[in-house]
Every structure is written in C-alpha cells, then in structure tokens.
A and B are shown apart, each in its own frame.
Chain A
Amino acid sequence: MDTDNKEAWGSRVGLVLAMAGNAVGLGNFLRFPAQAMQNGGGAFIIPYLVCFVLMGLPLLYVEWAMGRFGGKSGSHSTPFMFGSMGKSFLWKYVGVMGLFISVGICAYYTYIEAWAISWAYHSAMGHFIGMSQEQVAAFFTNYIALGTSEPVVVWILCVALNTWILSRGLQGGVEVAAKIGMPLLLLFGIVLAVRGATMTAGHHGAVYSGVVGLNYLWTPNFNSIWDPVVWRNAAGQIFFTLSLGMGSIHCYASYVKSKDDIALNAMSAGWMNEFVEVVLGSAIIIPIAVGYLGVDKVVEMTRGGSGFGIGFMTLPYLFTQWGPLLSALSGIMWFGLLFFAGITSSLAMGTPVMAFLEDHFSWKRRSGALAFGLAVLILGIPSVLSQEAFNEFDYWAGTIALVVFSLAEITLFAWVFGMEAGWKEITDGADMKVPVAFKYVIKYVTPVFLLIVFVGSMPDIWATLTKKVTFHVAVARGLMVSLFGGIAWLVYLADKRRAAL
C-alpha cells in the first residue's frame, strides 16, 4: 500500500466527540424544530425515532464498519475503501462521491460558519441594539448581498482556520477542536435552552412565556402519523442530522484498529447527536421566537421546514430585548454554538480529502490541508457571490448526492460485500451486544427507507432540472461536474500508481 498516513486518534472519548461533532450541525438547532413544527408537533418524534432506529443507527453501523475495514488496507477515504469491498473497478468511482460531497458541501458550509462568527462579533459589540426587527433582517440581507467586504474577509479567515486545524492532524487538530468545541456547544446550548424554556410573559418585552412555544411544539397531532409526507420528512431529518452518506464517518472510523470497538462508539456518537437535536434543538429558537412573535407568526416563518431566518434574522433582535449584557452573552452563545456545530462538521469533511492525498499520493499533511483549503476557496466563490449558486451546491452536493451515496454504500455493504461478512465487521471487538435484528434491518429495511427518501425527492429533482438555468446556476453546476470529474481522474491516477508498485 502506497501510504505515508501515520494519523491516529489520541483517545476514545476524543474519537466519540469528533464523531458527534461531525454529526451535530446547524440543522440540529435550525432544521429539527422547524420540521417538528410543520409535521405534527410532538407526534413528529414518533416517526423521527422510528427512522433513527431503522435507518440512522443501521447506517451508522455500516459506515463505521466500512471505515474500519478500509483502514485495514490503508484506505482512509471512500474510493479505495469501496474498491476493497466490491470486485468491480466501478466501486472505486462510486466512492468518488465521498470526496465530492465533502468538498462540495464545505464550499458553502464554511460560508455559513463565517456568518456565525460575524454575528457573534456583532452581538458582542452590541451592534444590533437599537435596531428594529426589520433592520436586523435587512442587516443580514445586506451582508449576504456583499454590501460590505466583511463576509468575504471572515469567510477567508474561516477557511484558513479550518485549514490550519486540519494541518495539525487528527489528534493535534481535529480531536482538540472537538474536545473544545463540543463541551462549549453543550454548555451554550443548555444555558440558552434553560433561558428559552423559563422565559416569562411580561419580562423583557416577552408577550408569551417560553412554555407556550414548547407547548405548541410538543402538542401531538396524531393524525400526522398516517401522513406519508411526515414519514418522508422524518427520514430526511434523521438522514441529514447524522451526517450520513458523506464519507466523513468512514474516514474517522478508518483510524480504528480492527480489534477495537466500533459498535458502542457509533451508538454513543449517534445518541449524543440526538440529545443535541431533540433536547437542546427543541428548546431554543421556538420558545424564544414564540415568546415575542406568537405561534402564528413562527409557524409562518418555519413554513419551509427551516429555522434559518429565525436563527440569523430574528433571534439577534429578540436577544436585544434582554438588555445589553444578556443580549451580548446570548448572541455570543447562540452564534458560538452554531459556529462550533459548523466547524466540527467541516473539519470532518476535510479529513477524507487529506487522507486521500496522503494515502495515494504520499502528500504531507500540511500540503493536503492546503490543497483542501484552496479547493474550498475556489469552489466557494460562486456561493459567496450568489445565493442561487449557494442553493445549487446545497441541493446537489449537500442533499441529493448524500441519498444516492448512501443507497450505493448500503447496496455495496449488504448485498455485494455480503451481510455475513458485514455483520462480522460490525461486531468484531464490540464492547456491546449489537441486536441481531439489525442484520436484517440493514439488509432489507434501511435500503427501502433510503429508496423512499430518494423516490420522494424525484419530483423535486425533476422540477430543479427543468427550471430555467441562470448564469450562476450554470457556473455552480459546471464546477460540481468538474469537481467530480477531477476527483475521478485522481482516483484513476492513484489506481495506476498502486498497480505500478
């Protein structure tokens, strides 16, 4: 094997925190509560947890197992990991998606991290104090319309920070970031959740108490359980919240030795993500927003299934109602936790790219990190310049590709590699007894769930493809096709290189 990759995890807790950090993203705080609001309130948790058990956990097991299996042969990224599990040479090129998705998502995701840094700064400096709600929203609109140079400067700094942390390696960079970021994220989340849930009407201008928002969010509409759209949305939420189908879990797990546990680690990281999403995610934006704006307005604002507008355009205004000190602290904590949620995920996306260059082209860690940072900067420019390009990257690289990649990986694992061999990979060295039912769930149930999610998104894919293509959309699509082609070409070169050795 042509690898100079000497990376290793420092500790097991560090690995679990890094995996949890990979899974915990902005969607835990912004998407989950909005989805719950729109899909049956408290009853949403039923299909949501069923999907977690039947799709989320099985895919976690599969990705951890594929990663550790690939690591045995020195492959820490999906192309050659997949190539070692399936006989056809085509699997290597299916694995290209694992790298494509990582770079494609980081191209716009790091920009959102930059917004969080900027908003934490503006909150700390009290810049939102005295503004009306409309002015705060306009401040954001002006920001993303590049009314100032700030977004570009902060974004470049953010990519540089990602690159620097990655260049310090798995143990000295990624793991340290997770060990700092995750506890702070939990601390900030708990403080804000307590504040949101205990807000009382009449104090600091709140019209309703925080409990009103929680009451609306958790009041179950049991009729929704029979609605297939609710199930599809629950499956989609589980899928995206766990960072499945991206290649990052495979990469992190590939540094675990074959005799060491993956089953318990996967459970721990997965449930940690659920804690952040279900407990903290439900107790921040909805109670606070409903407290000031009322239920009807918040339902309207979450109509698209996202709390993004509330998170960036409304909460900073609402925080200012709490007085200068609390407003600054709340802004720092809210945007700080969004930043930590973001950067622990983007670092996970950078790691497979570096591993690929280290494994197959003998690049040094720093060169790999620089190459990743440079690729993100180049590919991210359209997303910074145009919201259309941003949405295009998010749709194809950050949504559709994940589902396609997961369908491919579970087919490879359960049907090509074989479930008997796959089950052995999952249970070898396990520090817990994995229920044998998962063997059948992985083989039969999870692929069906994924198919439902994919087929359910077909009308939307068709509508997107038949929509008028603007210049920015064309550039974004061109870049994504070039990115995929470029990585496939590198895989081809690496394959030649391996054959020559």
Chain B
Amino acid sequence: MSPTALTMMLTAWITVTAFTLYFFWKVVKAPPRAEPDSFADNDDLPR
C-alpha cells in the first residue's frame, strides 16, 4: 500500500473512530437526569 493511501486511510479511520468512541462514551457516562426523564428503564432506580 502506498504511503499516501495508507496515511489517508488511517487518518480517516482513526479520526472517525475516535469521535465515535468519544461521543458514545460521553452518552454512556452522562449522569441520569431527575425523574421524570425520557427513559422508562430507570424509573424505579434510586437517585
């Protein structure tokens, strides 16, 4: 694989993967809001 193609591919893949993981991680780690919130699964969980 040519160095230019490899650079383009890895730059694109790493950038997109990093943003994807970063934002998904932030979603997972975001503290839940006070009830009533938009989500039914956590309705019975203690706050």
Interface residues of chain A, those whose CB is within 8 Å of chain B, are 8-16, 41-43, 45, 49, 171, 211, 214-220, 255-257, 259-261, 264-265, 267-268, 271-272, 274-275, 278-279, 282, 429, 431-432
Q: Which residues of A sit under 8 angstroms from B5, Cβ to Cβ?
A: 41-42, 214-220
Mask: chain B, 13-47; 1 = CB below 8 Å from A; 0 = not: 10111011001101110100100111111100000
A257 to B33, CA, bound (A): 11
| Residue contact B30 to A278, C-beta cutoff 8 Å | no
B35 to chain A minimum Cβ distance, whole angstroms, is: 10
A14 to B27, CA, bound (A): 11
User: Which 6 pairs from chain A and chain B are nearest by CB?
Assistant: A42-B8, A268-B23, A218-B9, A275-B20, A218-B5, A219-B5
Q: Which residues of B sit under 8 angstroms from A15, Cβ to Cβ?
A: 38-39
Task: Pick from B15, B26, B33, B36: contact of A268, CB below 8 A.
Answer: B26
Q: Which residues of A sit under 8 angstroms from B20, Cβ to Cβ?
A: 268, 271-272, 274-275
| Residue contact B37 to A268, C-beta cutoff 8 Å | no
| Residue contact A279 to B16, C-beta cutoff 8 Å | yes
Which label, helix, strand, loop or mixed, suits the secondary structure of the B interface? helix
Q: Which residues of B sit under 8 angstroms from A278, Cβ to Cβ?
A: 12-13, 16
Q: Which residues of B sit under 8 angstroms from A11, Cβ to Cβ?
A: 39, 41-42
Jot down 16 A-B pairs with beta carbons below 8 A, ordered by A.
Answer: A9-B39, A12-B39, A13-B28, A16-B27, A42-B4, A43-B8, A49-B15, A214-B9, A217-B9, A219-B8, A255-B38, A264-B23, A265-B27, A268-B24, A268-B27, A271-B23
Q: Which residues of A sit under 8 angstroms from B2, Cβ to Cβ?
A: 215, 219
The closest CB in chain A to the CB of B9 belongs to: A218
| Residue contact A274 to B19, C-beta cutoff 8 Å | yes
| Residue contact A261 to B23, C-beta cutoff 8 Å | no
A8 to B39, CA, bound (A): 6
Known contacts A257-B36, A274-B19: A264-B12 contact under CB 8 Å: no
Q: Which residues of B sit under 8 angstroms from A268, Cβ to Cβ?
A: 20, 23-24, 26-27
The closest CB in chain A to the CB of B37 belongs to: A260
Q: Which residues of A sit under 8 angstroms from B13, Cβ to Cβ?
A: 278-279
Q: Which residues of A sit under 8 angstroms from B17, Cβ to Cβ?
A: 275, 279
A282 to B4, CA, bound (A): 16
Task: Pick from A8, A257, A271: contact of B16, CB below 8 A.
Answer: A271
The closest CB in chain A to the CB of B34 belongs to: A259
Known contacts A16-B24, A211-B1: A271-B19 contact under CB 8 Å: yes
Q: Which residues of A sit under 8 angstroms from B39, Cβ to Cβ?
A: 8-12, 14-15
Known contacts A257-B37, A278-B12: A272-B24 contact under CB 8 Å: yes
Q: Which residues of A sit under 8 angstroms from B41, Cβ to Cβ?
A: 10-11, 14
